[in-house]
Amino acid sequence: MSSNVTVTVGGESHVVPVGTIVRDVLKNGIPSKDLVAARVDGKLVDLTRKLEHDAAVEPVLADSPEGLEVIRHSTAHLMAMAVQSLFPGTQVTIGPVIEDGFFYDFAPPAPFTVEDLPKIEAKMRELAKADHKITRTEVPREEAVKKFAAMGEKYKVEIIAEAEDPISIYSQGDWMDLCRGPHVPSTRYLKAFKLTSVAGAYWRGDEHNAMLSRIYGTAFASKEALEEHLKLVELAHQRDHRKLGREMGLYIFDPISPGSPFYLPKGVIIFNALIDYMRRLYRRYGYDEVVTPLIFKNAMFNTSGHWENFRENMFLSPDPDSDEHSIDTGPDGWHHGYGLKPMNCPGHTFVYRAEKRSYRDLPLRFAEFSRLHRAERSGTLHGLMRVRAMSQDDAHIFCREDQIEDEIALNLQMVREVYGALGFDHVEFKLATMPEQHLGTPEQWEMSEGKLANALKRNEIPFDINPKEGAFYGPKIEIYVSDALKRKWQVATIQLDYNAPERFDLSYTNSAGAEERPVMIHRAILGSLERFIGVLIEHTGGVLPLWLAPEQVRVLSLSEKVEDYAKEIADLLKREGFRAHADIRNEKLGFKVREAELAKVPYMVVVGEREAADRSVSLRLLRGEKSNAMPLAALVEKLKQEPIPA
């Protein structure tokens, strides 16, 4: 056996002695504080891992997604060490990394409370500063069981029983934990963390097991990144669309219909303004609106494939014409009963079939805003973001094979236009390709994926591939927007479908007089209007552009003497087509302003005796601008100049 190994780092090969540690081949140019772990032949390892054979070695940097995971899990260990030193008799269980942080489940003598967190954090900082080296050892399973049993760690013993032999153990100072790793080289690397909350959790998530005490926390590569994150979390809390929806009087939820919003009059204004906007675009882009039933015989859902793939997400109903009142949810249950539609697609195939179609009629673009119902589990419901009842700006395009690319391109153009107009600057595109389970041949998939890719390229739209994430019937373009809180939302989709036209036996007469199948494109730009409104409210903090604001102008009177003038202004603005109200209550101006701000009214118009005398107003804008005196006519002009996307 050679006493040297060849390592490849950044495309360059070096010969180093066997047993050289990973860190020593990565030193070049990377400050040691930024280097937290490594990949050896693709496998994540500690920097202290010894190189035993030829390998490709890559650095894992602190602020990379993997680096963050290493830091967060190492911080979970640090927390467990602090907890066990502060609360003797506490047993440890598991401490995984989760999105944006980590948790650790403990079995303490008494459950932890949020009051314990500052104390634990202080201890963690002390232990981090002490710069305990973090070392990995491997021991046979038997020995590990003995070790942890002697420590009274019965949960760990249970975990070891299921782990692969040998068992790896990570130690720092006099503390150790069973762990696969990797970890940062020493506790000194952990300097930006925060414990965020406590909760109860059953051991192994099973309610028959003991209740454990869970502590949540987060950690970042730098204090700046941590602070930035905590700021965004706080902002997300302030902007929660459920909270703002209540304050702005937009919508409510009630257990009488879980997951189904009740839109209040002001919420309906936003809902309808978005639909009106899409309708204006539809006229320009050549869409026809249709209205199809909400409830269909299950036979249709059998033809579409929904019965087979989606029926557990559907609300079902017995057939009123039948004596059979029970609902059969089995595979053959589609012979009877009705279902509330979860999607518009199957219904639109009947609209297509309403007439004989010729190649000259295509493309046909059918749009529909009808309510859709999906039987989501109650535990997954979340405000407007996850609902049981929704409307989509849904449309289905029926076209010829040679029209696909143009249709996709037209939709991409619409996506960009809509998100530009709605103030989302950051839009990302992904092409989701053939999944494991699919209809059709790989050649067909390659061709249709090529068409979507071409349309993206023609529009000079950069995109990533989302491998194997297409629908089972065809590839799709997924469109994501980033909001002001740096969260990503999938909103729009454009999907190619050869399957539905086949299942519903759709055809058109081609130029040679023969029958051919059209292709179906499913697309939604806003997606679910519910979800979109939720995203929009959190993105803007409720400060909507004028055309979407439920109440656009509120006239605030300074005293009883100007009541009539205030009412006159509101009436004038209403005649001009604006949504205006006069607040002539006998309240202090400060109080009225605060209420208008809470309701997120973009234009606050203040009038007192001086304004009444010279027929002017004092304008105060929600978006920070200072109050501003202007003639009444100038206010009307200013309002008329606010942009409305068309």
Closer to Zn ion by CB, 341 or 620: give it.
Answer: 341
Binding letters toward Zn ion, positions 298-337, x by CB under 5 A = ----------------------------------------
Per-residue tokens: 421: 């107009």
What's the Cα-to-Cα distance from 598 to each of 117, 122, 231, 251, rounded to whole Å? 33, 38, 21, 15
345 vs 582, which CB is nearer to Zn ion?
Answer: 345
Report residue 496 as tokens. Answer: 């190619």
| Residue 593 backbone class (left: φ over 0; alpha: ψ -120 to 50; beta: rest) | alpha
Contact between 341 and Zn ion (CB under 5 A)?
no
Dihedral sign, CA of 243, 246, 248, 251?
Answer: positive
Q: Using CB under 5 A, which of the segments 176-184, 198-206, 228-236, 581-589 binds Zn ion?
A: 176-184
Catalytic-labelled residue, pool 194, 266, 396, 581: 396
Residue whose beta carbon is closest to Zn ion: 179
| Residue 500: CB minimum distance to Zn ion, A | 8
Q: Could you give the CA distance from residue 67 to residue 299 in angstroms, rounded to a whole number?
A: 52
Q: Under rule CB under 5 A, how many of the chain's residues touch Zn ion?
A: 3
Whole-angstrom Cα distance, residue 262 to residue 285? 32
String marking each residue 520-559 x if it binds Zn ion according to CB under 5 A: --x-------------------------------------
Does residue 394 carry a catalytic annotation? yes
Sign of CA dihedral 580, 585, 586, 588: negative
Mark whether 396 is an active-site residue: yes
Contacts from 628-633 at CB under 8 Å and sequence distance 24+?
A: 632/569, 632/572
The tokens for 245 are 């929806």
Q: Which of 7, 9, 144, 179 binds Zn ion (CB under 5 A)?
A: 179
Placement of tokens 């390229």 in the chain: 457
Cα separation, 73 vs 611, whole angstroms: 63
Q: Which amino acid is at 506?
A: L
Which residue, among 324, 276, 323, 331, has the nearest Cα to 548 in the 3D structure?
A: 276
Which of 72, 266, 365, 476 is the catalytic position?
Answer: 476
Out of 345, 492, 566, 632, the residue judged to bind Zn ion by CB under 5 A:
345
Closer residue to Zn ion in complex, CB, 127/345:
345
Residue type, 261: P
CB of residue 419 to Zn ion, shortest distance in Å = 20
70, 79 contact by CB (below 8 A): no
Both structure tokens of 168: 């790896």
Q: Shortest Cβ distance from residue 103 to Zn ion (Å)?
A: 12
Active site residue 332: no
Q: Active site residue: 156, 183, 306, 345, which one?
A: 345
Nearer to Zn ion, 67 or 542 (CB): 67
Output DSSP code: residue 64: S
For the bound state, the minimum distance from the C-beta of residue 136 to Zn ion, rounded and expressed in Å, comes to 11
Please identify which of the residues 156, 194, 341, 522 carries the catalytic annotation. Answer: 522
Q: How many CB atoms lie within 10 A of CB 436?
A: 6
Quote the least distance from Cβ 343 to Zn ion, whole Å: 5
Structure-token match 């552009």, residue found: 545
Cα-Cα-Cα-Cα dihedral of 368, 373, 376, 381, to 10°? 80
C-beta of 5 vs 345, nearer to Zn ion: 345
Active-site residue identified among 177, 394, 483, 497: 394
Element (H, E) at 276: helix 265-285
Nearer to Zn ion, 35 or 345 (CB): 345
394 vs 611, beta carbon nearer Zn ion: 394
Stretch that binds Zn ion, among 103-111, 178-186, 374-382, 460-468 (CB under 5 A): 178-186
Amino acid at residue number 276:
D
In the complex with Zn ion, the residue whose CB is nearer, 345 or 481, is 345
Binding characters for Zn ion, 493-522, by CB under 5 A (x = yes): -----------------------------x
Stretch that binds Zn ion, among 171-179, 236-244, 383-391, 486-494 (CB under 5 A): 171-179
3-state secondary structure of 58: strand
Active site (catalytic) residues: 345, 374, 392, 394, 396, 476, 522
The site for Zn ion (CB under 5 A) is made up of: 179, 345, 522
